Amino acid sequence: MSVSTSAIPTPKVRTGPLPGDGYAYLNWAIPHLRSNPKDDQTRLMAIREYLSLHLVQPARELMDQWAGASSQAQELRELRCVIQKLQGGPTAWSRFGMQYEANLAVLERRGLNVIAIREQWEKACGSYQVFMDRNGLPQVRRRNCDGFWEWMPQLGNHRADDNARPLPDDIGSKMPGPYLFDGLGWGGFFERVYAATVDTFLGYSCALYALEPKTEWLAVLLHLHDWTKQLSDPRVLMSFGEECLDQLRKAWDADVDLPWPNRAFSIGAGAGESRAVRMVQEAGAVREQAIRDSLGRIEEQYAARDLHYWAHRFEEATNGAGGPLRILAAVSTHTSFLQHSMRDARRALEALGHEVRVLTEDRPFTIIGPLTYHAAIRDFDPDVFFMLDHLRPECGSIIPRNLPILTWD
């Protein structure tokens, strides 16, 4: 659709952004007109800016709110004639229905409560409208409790804004992240971070914790984006609704190998200090205390095993008088040479009659946590801890002091 308003004179704007700035001018003018409904000079310019963006219905609504006689009366009457000949309402949400259903199907397969999303959207969808502007960008508005339409979060080139946002400075390293999104905003930045963190080093792809406290806004995003790939990836842990922080904390409690995020992005509708950051700090403090308590217990388990104990234990294991050595080993899946070296070492140790267990990550976004090491030590009661390319000072939180370590670099 091509809209021409060149026949309408352009009055001088006294305050606010200059006309022609499109999004910026309208973001200033709309709240200004609510407080100054008789400012027909601004109203005329706002109508022209809406039409320049091909947002006809919002322009028509501004015209319908025109108070009456003013110095711009003739121009406004002429503009009314122009608008009456134009068509351009909101895009039906049903146009995005297939995309919405495909995204929901992925979330449902992941075990998320999609019924809550559906129910919330059914209640809220009548309060949301989406328009496709001149630039082919969706612009979403919501009717607030006072009955006014508000652009979410404002009119703008959201794609350009998300593309201009700098990526985390550790992207480009071998193992960046993990990252936490405290609100998804328009979703473009989430998409960019996801794409930049796929298989960054020997199969490693960092965890992405995506929180969206506003379920109805998540429903909007699931209409406007094809996220079937991102949402089906196990490293994307999605939580939504008022309980999203509790959901994420329960996920960390249930899986002690899920790493903590090293960066959080607050790009949702809320402002101020991130509640998610505070939750991570609190959960981290609880985890650190649990690690200290657990380490204390396995320190007690090995407290009496001094040099004489180990000399006797190793002598019996090697001369056949006692049971074979129990060897607990660890190696990362995000290696190549070390994995082959550990495989060969395990085969050699087992050929000598010793019992070997190897800890390694079971998913590309997890890291073996101290509590996993502690559980293995309590269960297996090893005589030796075996690792490659790491030394005892790096193991202070995972290995009791009296457990012998075999290693080489």
Model pLDDT, residue 70: 64
Model pLDDT, residue 69: 58
Model pLDDT, residue 9: 47
Model pLDDT, residue 356: 98
Is 43 exposed, middle or buried, given 0-12, 13-18 or 19+ CB atoms closer than 10 A? buried
Structure tokens at 289: 């205390």
Mean pLDDT of all residues in 291-307: 97
Given a cut of 60, is residue 8 above it in pLDDT? Answer: no
Question: Which tens digit of pLDDT belongs to each residue from 194-203?
Answer: 999 999 999 9
In whole numbers, what is the pLDDT of the chain averaged over residues? 91
Between these two residues, 87 and 377, which has the higher pLDDT value?
377
Given a cut of 50, is residue 11 above it in pLDDT? Answer: no
Structure tokens at 278: 């505070």
Mean pLDDT of all residues in 147-176: 94
Given a cut of 70, is residue 10 above it in pLDDT? Answer: no
Question: Which tens digit of pLDDT belongs to each residue from 172-189?
Answer: 999 999 999 999 999 999
Sort residue 22 into left (φ over 0), alpha (ψ -120 to 50) or beta. Answer: left
Model pLDDT, residue 18: 75
What pLDDT band is residue 266 in, cutting at 50, 70 and 90?
confident
Q: Are 395 and 403 in contact (CB under 8 A)?
A: no
Largest Cα–Cα distance in the chain? Answer: 108
Is 380 exposed, middle or buried, given 0-12, 13-18 or 19+ CB atoms closer than 10 A? middle
Question: Which tens digit of pLDDT belongs to each residue from 327-350?
Answer: 999 999 999 899 999 999 999 999
Closest of 188, 189, 208 to residue 198, by C-alpha: 208
How does DSSP assign 7-71, residue by residue? TS--PPP-SSSPTT-THHHHHHHHHHHHH-TT-HHHHHHHHHHHHHTT-HHHHHHHHHT--S-ST
Model pLDDT, residue 20: 73
In one letter, which amino acid is 204? Y
pTM of the model: 0.89
Given a cut of 60, is residue 52 above it in pLDDT? Answer: yes
Mean pLDDT of all residues in 80-105: 91
Of the ranges 68-77, 184-193, 351-360, 367-376, which one carries the lowest mean pLDDT score?
68-77
